[in-house]
Every structure is written in structure tokens, then in C-alpha cells.
Amino acid sequence: MHRLKFYIDGSWVDPLEPKPLPVINPATEEAIADINLGSAADVDRAAKAARRAFATYSETSVEERLRYLERIIAGFKLHLPELARTMTLEMGSPITFSTERQATVALFHFEEAARVLEKFEFEERWPTGIVRHEPIGVCGLITPWNWPLNQVASKVAPAIAAGCTVVLKPSEIAPLSSMLLADIIHSSGLPAGVFNLVNGDGPTVGEAIASHPEIDMVSFTGSTSAGIKVAKLAADGVKRVAQELGGKSANIILPNADIRKSVIAGVHACNTNAGQNCQSPTRMLVHRSHRDEAFDAARVAIDSIRLGDPLDPATTMGPLVSQAQADRVQRYIQLGVDEGATLVAGGPGRPAELNHGYYVRPTVFGDVTSDMTIAREEIFGPVLAIMSYDTEEEAIAIANDTSFGLAGFVQSADPVRARKVANRIRAGRVYFNGAPFDRSLPFGGYKQSGNGREFGLHGFMEYLEVKALVGFPE
């Protein structure tokens, strides 16, 4: 595939300063496509197109925007198998997971944006005036490679539903599914300039988006270090910045829980998407008396994971996205060994049965303490740290002993007790007993896991300004 153009002002155009880059299939280590990396000049062209389009698109009716969303949803459904397969090829997600989760949840964000838009009250009458909600303007959207369409849709859908225009930079590592989405959006008839896509890397295109004077708001998903850079660049323009950053989520298994069931579920949750999830429950906290039982259950869970060709429907874990990511995870696994954690399952090195691809053995460490690197830093791979506690107070303290605060997990047979624990976890989401990842509820972090919220009503409102009309009659 040769996808060398950018989508700007309603058509596919050549970059102003072409810089070719291959897209690598992480399962085969071979190039499957070529794209171009963009420049600040390309961002300028896209931002100006978005600014022109905003003047009229921001005035469209709710009914008009709903019609565009309905056409995008219909096109997405029609092309869902192709979108899923593309994500499998570009970032290694197993085809079953790509179909049932990666593509399907991305579709949900467009459906949810339409649901919120249909019911949202853009004007509220107060006793002394009117509170009005208006689209914030041109939005720069910077997204990662681990959920390539989910993160794109979670930003694009509410932005265009709210009446904003956008400049999207998908990850240059996994850009192909976003380019297919651009084709779907083009076919929907969305006016030229409302949606624009420029491929590129963070230091060039990402930074140009964050600092561009025509962009009013930046929504960024990625690492905490990159998020800090984006926020600093956006500060000069006093832009609104919404960020979903790193995580080191704790999974507290209380003593009255079904230990074996909870541990097995926790191991699989940690290894979902090959562990490349910002909210993965990568720190499992078990009562010290359940240490051995937890280790045994973790081994059972790891043994049930099937690594292999991500195009094989039976595969449950594919490769990591790149050689750099695989090397990073291997370094952390070796650090776990070197710092004295107990290796419960997995370990360093490529899986013996696979002689190519960026595969890593799903790994579990036990007897991990809070001062160990694998307990403090986000690994972003299939590595679980099991930590022991003696009291509930200690478990809560360990869970909160992190610079992150994206998610938390509590397992218990007593919902009342679990709720008391959940209320004290400093994180933007807390899941009880394996509850599914609800995309209508707000998602976002405390502390260095970011600010702002995505999904549902709260995600929609990130793209709105609030205006008070004082003294006006109805």
C-alpha cells in the first residue's frame, strides 16, 4: 500500500515536504505500506483549512451534524472488517481482538457522540440569564498507536458532534486505519476542512499542532513526558489542553474475594492488547496469606495465553508494536530479575516457538516491593507485578503510592467494603469485580495520568466553551 498523501480541506493532497516512512508489520518485521511524514507547513495548511471551515460548520444545526454522524457510522460498519484487519497488520493486535474490541469500540464512540448530541441542551435558562454552550473551535488531536482507531474516534467523534473542526495526527507507527477512516468521513459528505489528517512524528507535526496559533484546543493521548511537552507548547497560546497519559494501575484483591478467579482475570486483563494499555492493572495487590495461591493461579493464566500469528483467529496475544517497544519491555523484565523480584512466569527473551516478530513472553513477577522499578514505571507490555499487603490500609497506601492515577481495580465478595476502598483510590476510574470498560462513562486521570475527560457526555463537553448571556430575554 502506498498512502503518501494527507487529507486536507476535503481532498487527498501531496505533502509540501515529502519524507517517506515504511509502516512495519510487527508480526513479520516487514514493510506493508509507505506513508509520508509531514512538516510544520503541512500542519499550517490543515489548520487554516479547519479555521475556514469552522466559520460555517460551527453554525450547523444539531440535525445536520447528526446526519453526518449517521453516514460515518454506516460507512464504518460497512468497512469494519477491513479496519480490523488493517489494525492487525499495522500494530499486531490479534484479528479476533481487532474485530471485537479495537474496531467495534471505535465505532461505539461515533454512536455515543450521536446519542449525546441528540439530547444535549446547548442553552439553559437561568433565573438571571442564559448559559450557552458553543464549539471551542479548531481542535488539534494527537493519538497513539496502541488503540489506533479507538483513540482517534474518542476525539474526532465528539469534536465534530460539538461543531468543532479538527486536525488529526495519528501515530506514524500505525496510521493506516486512520487513513481508512478519513476515506469513510470523506464519503459521508462532511464539509471540506472540518476533518483534516496530517501524518508525522511528535517532534515535528505534534509540536506544530500544539503550538499553532489557529488551533484553539489540543487533545493528546500518549506518554506523560510527551504530554508535558505538548502542554508547554500549548501554554503560549493559552489553549485548552486535554490529556490522557500514562498509568500504573493497582488491582486490589481483598481477602474475601475468590482469589483464584480474581488472579486469573487480573493476569488476562494485564495482558490484554499485549499489555499495551494505559490503564492495565499492572500492580496486583494480594493479602500476604494468599501469596502462594496467587502465584499458582497466575501461572495457570499465563499458560492459557496463545502467542502467534495475529491473523490466526485462535491467537490471543500478538507481538508488541515495534522493535523499540519490545526492547524496552525486555529491559524492564531484566530489571525485575536484577532487583530481586521472584519470577513467577515468563521471563527475558523471545518466546522459543517464534523466530521472528516483536514478541515478548508474558511475564509475572512476585514479591515486588514499591521501591522496585517495575512497580513504579509504566512498562507498557505484558508484565505484571504481584505485591503483598497485610492490612487494607496498607493496600490502599500501596495503590496510591504512584505518580499516576488513571485507573484502579477492586475485587471483593462484599460490594460495600469494595466501595469504601474504591472511594479512597486516587484514580479517574475504579472497576469492581471485572466490570467491563464502559465507554459512556468518563475516562481520564488524576495526577500525572492527565487532565480532562473522554467518552460520553463528559468527553463531548471538553469540546465546548461556556458563554453567559446576562439580562437577555428568552
Query: For residue 474, is pLDDT > 80?
Result: no
pLDDT tens, position by position, 420-445: 999 999 999 999 999 998 889 999 99
> Which residues on neighbouring strands pair with residue 424, listed in sequence order?
none
Burial of 257 (0-12, 13-18, 19+ CB in 10 A): buried
Q: Are strands 20-25 and 30-36 parallel, antiparallel or unpaired?
A: antiparallel
Q: Give the count of beta carbons closer than 10 Å to the beta carbon of residue 12.
A: 15
- What is the percentage of the chain residues whose pLDDT exceeds 70? 100
pLDDT tens, position by position, 343-385: 999 999 999 889 899 999 999 999 999 999 999 999 999 999 9
Q: How far, in Å, CA of 171 to CA of 347, rounded?
A: 29
* Whole-Å CA distances, 358 to 257, 317, 331, 392: 36, 11, 14, 39
pLDDT at residue 187, as a whole number: 98
* H/E run at residue 464: strand 464-470
Q: Within the chain, what is the greatest distance between any pair of CA atoms? A: 74
Residue 52, classed as helix, strand or coil, is helix
pLDDT tens, position by position, 27-71: 999 999 999 999 999 999 999 999 999 999 999 999 999 999 999
Strand order in the sheet with 283-287: 342-345, 363-366, 383-389, 283-287, 250-253, 407-411, 429-432
pLDDT tens, position by position, 178-190: 999 999 999 999 9
Residues 326, 356: contact at Cβ < 8 Å?
A: no
- Which residue stretches of 144-241 are H helix? 148-162, 176-187, 207-211, 224-235
Active-site positions read 244, 278
- What is the mean predicted confidence (pLDDT) over 127-150? 97
pLDDT at residue 358, as a whole number: 98
CB proximity list for 82: less than 8 A, separation 6 or greater: 180
Query: For residue 160, is pLDDT > 90?
Result: yes
Sign, CA dihedral 352-353-358-364, equals negative
- Ordered by where they begin, the domains of the chain are 2-245+448-470 (3.40.605.10), 250-438 (3.40.309.10)
**Mean pLDDT of the chain, nearest integer:** 97
